[in-house]
Amino acid sequence: MPLSFKSSKGRVVIVCLRALWVCVTLWYEYAVFRYSAGKCTWADMDTSLQDQKHVLLVADPQIIDHHSYPGRPALLKYLSQLIVDLNLRKNWQAALRSAPDVVFFLGDYMDSGRNVMSDAEYERYVKRFRQIFSMPSEIPAYFIPGNHDVGLQPSTMFSPHARTRYTSRFGPLNSHVSIANHTFVLIDAPGLVEEDYKRHGLGRTYAEWKPDREGTISFVKSFAAKGITEPTILLSHIPLSRPEGSNCGPLRERGTIRRGVGVGYQNTLGKDSSTFLLEHVQPTLIFSGDDHDYCEYTHTSSTGSRIREVTVKSLSMAMGIKKPGYQMLTIIPPGGPTSSYSDSPCFLPDQLGIYLDVYIPLALGSLLVVLVLCIIRGRHHRQWKFRPLVTKRRSRESIRLLKPQHLRRLTRTRIVTDDYEFTLDDSDTDQKLPLPASATVPAPPKKRKILITLFSPIQRLSQLVSLRSFTRAVITSNRRGSFLGEFLRDVRDVAVFPLGMIILISLWTSLDL
């Protein structure tokens, strides 16, 4: 088969691989996020109402920095930060496609926001958060603090100015806002835990406790005293207390929310704190974060009311869950025969699964295809021969019958017959056969024949892996180049397009075009 035909077949394979990678990259880096967000729609209860509001709830983006993984090398930290930031941008823009009227962030915005750092470093950290979560100025956003934002309990790792820095960038620790005749109560859950430790340590009840002036207990008591009659929705970073082993529903990836306390965290609020909130806020619905996974649990208040709590999934791929997510809440002014709110969870693609289950197998398969293609093409490409010294034993009659095209493939060959031996160099390949019928070269000694037989494969292998051969293979990448050079060129031709697609999509996402 002519070499040109083989070459054209090879280019067709390369073009097909390139097209496959472009389609896969475009789908998994861009389209699959829009597709996932498109499957999640607002639960509109009455489209004729102009006062109907769409509320987006986002929990635990927890953007990482160089403090996040202390055991990792600097380069791996940088790559992790780059990949996670890009995933957060794509997840956030997918969520924004729903066009919410208002956004609530449920805490833990920066993984090391509570850590000791300079004001300039904190400013850069906040700027990264704002760049990732950019949104139209007409959409109001509200924030509640998480334990990674303001800390929880004293520690040498936590800045004593964490709360002051937080309030200067994100707003008050405790607040409430009215939307569509519903009151959203936003509390400082880490502050409530810390104050509850003090109260419990002194053995006092909530009725006996004199709350801190700017603390969460004081805010909740003040809110209760206002006697607001609108339906109340409570937002807390830390989930409320529940019995050990409580079921979180079928949408949770694994396990349940368990009680636990450690340096800088507490998995749930205390039992007394949860009862205090349910009695004073009297919420009809609760949203929380911190756990990173989805969970639904129904609380029962002292009056017998049943209050549903939804723990919203983290929006980040780095929080130990396969599919990040967010929550969509639709509210209408109360007064009708039906409920005044409806919510639904939204799940985004498994980014780590895309890398491990799609990109890596496809990359290995592509490398195998390119390797086989180069091997097939190399059999018809005489310039890929490495020119090792090869010893072959042939009879005089077989040498006479060799055709010129067969001999031309041998660039340097020592031929040994029963009664003579000679070496063919490049200049010999142009000679025409048959060779002389007689030769006066004596046969090599028997020991020499044995040594040639034993060491020829070793000599050939050493030449193949020699530095000279390897360097020539890497440097030479033109049509007359080496096998390795051709292989690397084909890999480059396939990889340049998907890598370019990833870079363009990353720029598109980063610039928010």
Rounded Cα–Cα distance for residues 342 and 16 (Å): 48
Q: How many residues does the chain have?
A: 513
Nearest to 278 by CA among 241, 333, 317: 241
Strand blocks (E) in 273-374: 285-288, 295-300, 306-311, 325-331, 341-347
Amino acid at 35: Y
Rounded Cα–Cα distance for residues 258 and 310 (Å): 15
Contact criterion met (CB below 8 Å) for 28 and 358: yes
pLDDT for position 274:
95
Amino acid at 409: R
Contact criterion met (CB below 8 Å) for 268 and 238: yes
Q: Tokens 């009680």 map to which residue?
A: 259
Rounded Cα–Cα distance for residues 152 and 197 (Å): 11
End-to-end CA distance of the chain: 51
pLDDT for position 103:
97
* Residue 428 DSSP one-character state: G
pLDDT for position 417:
46
What's the 3-state SS for 437-465? CCCCCCCCCHHHHHHHHHHHHHHHHHHHC
Contact criterion met (CB below 8 Å) for 56 and 328: yes
Nearest to 276 by CA among 230, 249, 236, 310: 236
DSSP string covering 355-412, please?
IIIIIHHHHHHHHHHHHHHHHHHHTT-GGG-----EEEE--HHHHHH--HHHHHT-SS
Amino acid at 49: L
Verify cis geometry, omega within 30 degrees of 0, for the bond prior to 434. yes
115: enclosing H helix or E strand? none
* Residue 312 DSSP one-character state: P
Helix runs in 145-303, H state only? 147-150, 162-170, 189-201, 216-226, 271-281
- Give this prediction's pTM: 0.77
Q: Which residues have a Cβ under 8 Å from the Cβ of 269 and sit 6 or more positions away?
A: 189, 192, 193, 196, 236, 238, 239, 240, 241, 277
The pair of structure tokens assigned to 28 is 């998994």
Region of 269 on the Ramachandran plot (φ > 0 left; ψ -120 to 50 alpha; else beta): beta
CA angle 183, 186, 188 (to 5 degrees): 160
Rounded Cα–Cα distance for residues 124 and 509 (Å): 20
Nearest to 112 by CA among 141, 155, 79: 155
DSSP string covering 3-69, please?
HHHHHHHHHHHHHHHHHHHHHHHHIIIIIHHHHHHHT-----S-TT-TT-EEEEEEB---B--TTS-
* Helix-helix angle 216-226:271-281, to 10 degrees: 30
Sheet hosting strand 175-179, strand order edge to edge:
175-179, 182-186, 232-236, 285-288, 306-311, 295-300
Per-residue pLDDT of the chain (513 residues; tens, 9 = 90+): 444 444 566 678 888 898 999 999 999 999 999 999 999 989 876 656 677 899 999 999 999 998 888 888 989 999 999 999 999 999 999 999 999 999 999 999 999 999 999 999 999 999 999 999 999 999 999 999 999 999 998 888 999 999 999 999 999 999 999 999 999 999 999 999 999 999 999 999 998 899 888 899 999 999 999 988 899 999 999 999 999 989 999 999 999 999 999 889 999 999 999 999 999 999 999 999 999 999 999 999 888 899 999 999 999 999 999 999 999 999 998 876 567 899 999 999 999 999 999 999 999 999 998 888 888 776 655 444 444 444 445 555 555 555 554 554 444 455 444 444 444 444 444 444 454 544 444 555 555 555 455 445 445 544 444 444 444 444 443 444 567 777 888 888 888 878 888 888 877 776 654
Sign of CA dihedral 141, 144, 147, 150: positive
pLDDT for position 215:
92
Ordered by where they begin, the domains of the chain are 40-349 (3.60.21.10), 357-494 (no CATH)
Sign of CA dihedral 260, 261, 262, 265: positive
The pair of structure tokens assigned to 134 is 């950019």
Q: Which residues have a Cβ under 8 Å from the Cβ of 273 and sit 6 or more positions away?
A: 192, 193, 196, 241
pLDDT for position 429:
44
What's the count of helices (H) and strands (E) in the chain, helices before strands?
16, 16
Count the Cβ atoms, other than its own, within 10 Å of residue 136.
Answer: 7
104: enclosing H helix or E strand? strand 102-105
Q: Which residues have a Cβ under 8 Å from the Cβ of 260 and sit 6 or more positions away?
A: 266, 267
The pair of structure tokens assigned to 273 is 């704190």
Region of 165 on the Ramachandran plot (φ > 0 left; ψ -120 to 50 alpha; else beta): alpha
423: enclosing H helix or E strand? strand 421-424
Contact criterion met (CB below 8 Å) for 350 and 87: no
Beta bridge partners of 261: 266
CA angle 161, 268, 346 (to 5 degrees): 95
Determine phi and psi for 207, rounding to 5 degrees: -70, -35
